[in-house]
Chain A
């Protein structure tokens, strides 16, 4: 666990740095895939840039709307670099909207664009696992298994390592040009990746020690992952059927 990296007087937030490196590596890999999906690499970069920028602005504005009194007492906080002042769901909605508008203006085909982005998403998932390992987040449930690790006052499942292994396995399956899953029919590559990721989350959430719970002790992330798995499997089937009928 190494949440910060001290470089002289500068304390770098290592989890954030890992995610940024993951994004850069992921985009580099996605650029190789873009050509196979009929998407220009530069369009893909711009799409991600627009989505990121919209996401950050949207996340800050959503946070402002949620806590206006705090900002009224301290207006300069609006331009603070503090990442804790971001509202994730508002940011995600703004990023999707920004990305969709850009893609529409550039007439980028929807499913092929998602296929082109898939390697970047897979690398991001892997980076997220390493970021969790660095910060100690997404920690495991207490366990007496021989490979349990000491974390937060107990021996626990090394859930971050499970996450990294699963993400690495998925990345190998979708690796551009080499993996067993390749973008032959528009959208199936992306929906296959979503199904694999949802399946991994469904499985691994059961070993987590920080799950938020629904009624009867069900883990909300597992329920969400199950629904996503169902949608992506149905989606794959529908896309396959659409492609065959053409």
Chain B
């Protein structure tokens, strides 16, 4: 670079900058098109994949039935230590936000756990949010769960706003994400 004559250097730089400006202009996209929002995928900005699981009474619960309410989908198992560690903070969050329409779906990965153990753990901690059972592993498959816990913050339109893989999640993080789901403000998200 040091050996290039000044005139050639200026010409080359100008050419690079012009080409860059043209490419920036050519590769612009229509701001009205938000393709990610229409595609179901377990990723921030995408439509939350729909699934159905059963509750402790054997009743079917579908994620899409909760459209219009912010949801924290937490996939967990009773043998998973970080899952257990974050549950008390989730319970406090639920107590504070439930009145505003916030819902927590604690989906137990029943293919790797048992409903008895899951319910015993929920009773031990006095959890009041719904404990659901993914007996067929549908939710785990659709959300590509590779480790537990896996948490998905879903807004009123059914769009995933944040994904947290692993845990335990700090209570402050839970509260911030819940508030962001209510405010719906992308800019607020760090």
Find out whether the CB atom of A222 lies under 8 angstroms from the CB atom of B27: yes
Q: Per-position contact with A for B1-45: 1 when CB-CB < 8 Å, else 0?
A: 110001001100100110011011111111100011001110101
Tell me, yes or no, whether B89 is within 8 Å of chain A by CB. Answer: yes
Best-surrounded residue of B46, B82, B172, B179 (most CB of chain A within 10 A): B172
Tell me, yes or no, whether B175 is within 8 Å of chain A by CB. Answer: yes
* Given A152-B39, A237-B10; A80-B170 close (CB under 8 Å): yes
Q: Is the interface of A mostly helix, strand, loop or mixed?
A: helix
Q: Which A residues from 178 to 222 make CB contacts under 8 A with B?
A: 181, 184-185, 188, 192, 199, 202-203, 205-207, 209-211, 213, 216-219, 222
* Given A9-B81, A82-B169, A233-B17; A152-B41 close (CB under 8 Å): yes
Find out whether the CB atom of B170 lies under 8 angstroms from the CB atom of A219: no
Find out whether the CB atom of B17 lies under 8 angstroms from the CB atom of A85: no
Task: Select which of A86, A217, A226 is within 8 A of B17 by beta carbon.
Answer: A226
* Given A3-B146, A84-B164, A218-B28; A229-B17 close (CB under 8 Å): yes
Contacts of B26 in A (CB 8 A): 206
Tell me, yes or no, whether B55 is within 8 Å of chain A by CB. Answer: no
Q: Which B residues from 63 to 84 make CB contacts under 8 A with A?
A: 81-82
Find out whether the CB atom of A153 lies under 8 angstroms from the CB atom of B40: yes
A233 to B89: give the CA distance in the assembly, Å: 51
Contacts of B176 in A (CB 8 A): 67, 70
Instruction: List 12 A–B pairs whose Cβ atoms lie within 8 Å, in order of A's numbering.
Output: A4-B146, A6-B147, A71-B172, A206-B23, A210-B36, A211-B29, A216-B28, A217-B29, A219-B27, A226-B17, A237-B10, A240-B6
| A residues at B contact (CB < 8 Å) | 2-4, 6, 9, 11, 13, 63, 66-67, 69-71, 73-74, 76-78, 80, 82, 84-88, 136, 139, 141-142, 152-154, 181, 184-185, 188, 192, 199, 202-203, 205-207, 209-211, 213, 216-219, 222-223, 225-226, 229-230, 233-234, 236-237, 240-241, 243
| B residues at A contact (CB < 8 Å) | 1-2, 6, 9-10, 13, 16-17, 20-21, 23-31, 35-36, 39-41, 43, 45-46, 81-82, 89, 146-148, 164-166, 169-173, 175-176, 179, 190
